[in-house]
Amino acid sequence: MSFVKGIDVSQWQGAIDWNAVKASGVQFAIIKMGGGDAGLYYDSRATQNYYNAKAAGLAVGGYWFAGGGNPENEADSFIAAMSPLEENDVFVLDWEIPNGDPVGWCERFIQRVHDRVGVWPLLYMNGSRLS
């Protein structure tokens, strides 16, 4: 079986040596752009991580940490955080929260991103949340 090695990062990893990451065999990075879990916010290192990972030659995408507020507002904030949009950007929704209607919430968020930018985001969650 073959696989592609990737990482997800946020401000909590601090300053990253992206050339060392690339040299370790990592091929893609998913960068935390922000979230809705503490009001709408942007990750303080998102832009730096995004462009430095690209400069190191990695495939790059961004993720939004769902907060469970209005899904359209969170999707709009995510799109703003990913702007300016670039060809081949990967959009990811990170779902880790309890919610009364998780499927409906995720569908609304994903549909809003698709309606505005024309791509379907990936949905990222752990196995226990899925079940």
Residue 8 bears catalytic tag = yes
Q: Which of 8, 37, 72, 76 is catalytic?
A: 8
Measured distance CA(119)–CA(14) in Å, rounded: 30
Active-site annotation holds for 86: no
> Is the peptide bond preceding residue 71 cis, with omega within 30 degrees of 0?
no
DSSP characters for 60-77?
A: EEEEEE--SS-HHHHHHH
Residue 112 DSSP symbol: H
Return phi, psi of residue 10, to 5°: -145, -175
User: Catalytic residue among 72, 76, 89, 96, which?
Assistant: 96
Q: Where in the sequence numbering do the catalytic residues fall?
A: 8, 96
